[in-house]
Amino acid sequence: MEYIFGDKLVKFTDEVVDILNSYRQVKKKQHEAGGILLGRIFDDQIIIQQITTPGPGDKSGRYFFERNVKRAQWFVDLAWRSSNGEVIYLGEWHTHPEPVPRPSSVDRKLITNMLRDSKMSIDFLFLVIVGTEEKYVAVQFVGSDTSLKQLEQRISV
């Protein structure tokens, strides 16, 4: 799964895509799921190579998912340490029980808050929403223009 982000490509590894797909809310009572995105930044591409999945302390329902802040931070620190600072926090993902997912006002607030509160070396974060059929992948930057911008998928043949 590849998306166009300025002069970079954002690539999700097959392993990450498989995990995201496995949480699609295809069953009637299935809760939302979510976690954080972790990866590496190169000159020409950003590789999202690791994500966290729902676990202890996360709260979820059919139409909401709240991840446990401490548990996510533990994963961010571990990934950072074990990669000599190369694997970093890149954003958030969660599922929606709709075919073509769109961010809610809560989703927009979450990304804005994460951009404001986390001490990061980058000035943007990604938001991935996994629908039952399609995925929504967007970026938001720090600063005055704080709206989510959906990224165009690069279809590889």
Cβ at position 63, least distance to Zn ion in Å = 8
Nearer of residues 41 and 114 to Zn ion, judged by Cβ: 114
CA distance 94 to 16: 13
Q: How far is the CB of 42 from Zn ion (least distance, A)?
A: 29
**Owner of token pair 């959906």:** 150
Give the nearest distance from C-beta 24 to Zn ion in angstroms: 14
* Residue 107 binding Zn ion, by CB under 5 A: yes
Please choose, out of 5-13, 101-109, 118-126, 142-150, the segment that lies near Zn ion by the rule CB under 5 A: 101-109
Span near Zn ion by CB under 5 A; candidates 47-55, 106-114, 119-127, 131-139: 106-114
Q: Which of 154, 143, 11 is nearest to 90 (CA)?
A: 11
Closest CB to Zn ion among residues 83, 98: 98
Spatial separation of the C-alpha atoms in residues 127 and 155, rounded to whole Å: 19
CA distance readout (Å), 123 to 114, 120, 143? 11, 7, 8
- Give me the residues paired with residue 4 across strands: 9, 152
Q: Which residue is nearest to Zn ion (CB)?
A: 107
**Strand, coil or helix: 102:** coil
Please give the residue ranges that form the binding site for Zn ion (CB under 5 A): 104, 107
